[in-house]
């Protein structure tokens, strides 16, 4: 995007500066996978002494996201959909009212296994909502939380239509002969690249720990119009960069799991 940059000369040295640009308010559509795999237990215990399930952890992370996003700009708005065989509205009207958004979110519940996941309707709805958002000088983003380890999502969507930005958080089981999380992840990467207007992010975790949900959700607070490419993300910092050189090699060996190109083993 060289056209968005200018070169400023100061004392013989040059530096890049971004040209002033309007950053639009966001309409954010959360689409949460409610397949039976969303009830898989995590390694963290809830207040009732029982392990949290993925869906409850996701709800908590989204609630925190909503309050933090509204603290950044109270004019951002939220709506909610679910994904089983296809997408369906949970709360269609976008709202900046946190209590209303949270109330809708708490109505989420899991269903039985649906066997397939078609994203076509989700993309169709998002494209229409994106046009409505643009008419109000806003942009639309879809955040998909996907929980299936052996069902690759499909879609039929023309690559020429990039009207919104897609982010994905993928929670899955460990690879095994009975599932194919790497193939599922690759399909999700393809979907992000296929439909996203701005830089879309995708995160995955098969660790089953709460921080693997909350940490990516905090990164997704970033506005699509202000993002760097995901390959250029430089946080969290590797421990190897914070220890003496003679300890760097062993620290690097211990620091794994941040490479989004490979499913967690």
pLDDT of residue 180: 95
Domain total in the chain = 1
229 is a domain residue? yes
Average pLDDT for 231-250:
55
| Cα–Cα distance for residue pair 27/36, rounded to 1 Å | 28
Average pLDDT for 191-205:
96
156 is a domain residue? yes
Lowest mean pLDDT among 40-44, 123-127, 193-197: 40-44
pLDDT of residue 241: 47
pLDDT of residue 209: 87
Percent of the chain exceeding pLDDT 90 equals: 65
144 is a domain residue? yes
pLDDT of residue 3: 46
Query: In Å, what is the CA distance from 195 to each residue of 26, 215, 260?
Result: 17, 24, 19
186 is a domain residue? yes
114 is a domain residue? yes
Average pLDDT for 38-50:
80
| Cα–Cα distance for residue pair 257/174, rounded to 1 Å | 13
Name the pTM for this structure: 0.82
Distant-in-sequence, close-in-space partners of 30: CB < 8 Å, separation ≥ 6: 62, 78, 79, 80, 81, 105, 142, 143, 145
Q: Which residue has the higher pLDDT, 227 or 243?
A: 227
Token pair listed for 258: 């941040």
- Residue located via tokens 């209590």: 99
- CA dihedral 167→74→23→105, nearest 10 degrees, is 20
pLDDT of residue 11: 61
CATH value at residue 175: 3.40.50.410
* 71-91 burial: b if 16+ Cβ within 10 Å, else e: eeeeebbbbbbbbbeebeebb
53 is a domain residue? yes
4 is a domain residue? no
* Mean pLDDT across the chain: 85
Q: Which domain holds residue 177?
A: 24-233
When pLDDT is cut at 50, 70 and 90, the band that residue 245 belongs to is: very low
260 is a domain residue? no
pLDDT tens-digit map of 84-110:
999 999 999 999 999 999 999 888 999
SS3 127: helix
When pLDDT is cut at 50, 70 and 90, the band that residue 52 belongs to is: confident
């Amino acid at each position: 995007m060289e056209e968005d940059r200018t070169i400023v000369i100061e004392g013989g040295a040059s530096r890049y500066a971004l040209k002033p640009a309007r950053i639009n308010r966001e309409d954010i559509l959360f689409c949460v996978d409610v397949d039976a795999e969303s009830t898989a237990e995590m390694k963290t215990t809830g207040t009732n002494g029982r392990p949290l399930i993925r869906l409850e952890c996701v709800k908590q992370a989204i609630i925190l996201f909503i309050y933090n996003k509204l603290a950044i700009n109270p004019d951002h708005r939220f709506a909610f959909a679910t994904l089983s065989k296809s997408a369906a509205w949970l709360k269609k009207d976008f709202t900046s009212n946190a209590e209303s958004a949270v109330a809708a979110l708490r109505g989420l519940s899991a269903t039985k296994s649906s066997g397939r996941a078609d994203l076509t309707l989700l993309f169709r709805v998002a494209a229409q909502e994106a046009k409505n958002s643009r008419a109000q000088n806003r942009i639309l983003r879809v955040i998909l939380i996907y929980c299936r380890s052996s069902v690759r999502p499909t879609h039929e969507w023309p690559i020429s239509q990039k009207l919104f930005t897609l982010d994905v958080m993928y929670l899955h089981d460990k690879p095994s002969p009975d599932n194919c999380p790497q193939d599922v992840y690759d399909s999700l990467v393809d979907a992000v690249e296929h439909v996203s207007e701005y830089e879309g992010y995708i995160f995955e975790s098969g660790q089953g720990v709460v921080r693997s949900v909350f940490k990516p959700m905090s990164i997704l607070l970033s506005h699509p119009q202000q993002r760097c490419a995901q390959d250029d993300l430089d946080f969290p910092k590797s421990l190897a960069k914070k220890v003496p050189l003679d300890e760097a090699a062993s620290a690097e060996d211990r620091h794994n799991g941040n490479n989004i190109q490979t499913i967690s083993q």
